[in-house]
Amino acid sequence: MTRRALEAFAENRLALVGVAIFVLLAAFSFLGPLFYST
């Protein structure tokens, strides 16, 4: 069942874009302070 759900999710371009944006935001929120300190 999980494999079928992942296949359906991979076919949905908008869902993939949303996940990519979410991952980038999470990465910047944790990695940003390491590179830019105030």
The domain locations on the chain are 2-35
Encoded tokens for 35: 């590179």
* Predicted confidence pLDDT, tens digits, the chain (38 residues): 699 988 888 899 999 999 999 999 999 999 988 888 77
Question: What is the reported pTM?
Answer: 0.67
Q: What is the DSSP string of 1-38?
A: -HHHHHHHHHH-HHHHHHHHHHHHHHHHHHHHHHH---
Amino acid code (one letter) for 37: S
Among 3, 4, 22, which Cα is nearest to 14's? Answer: 22
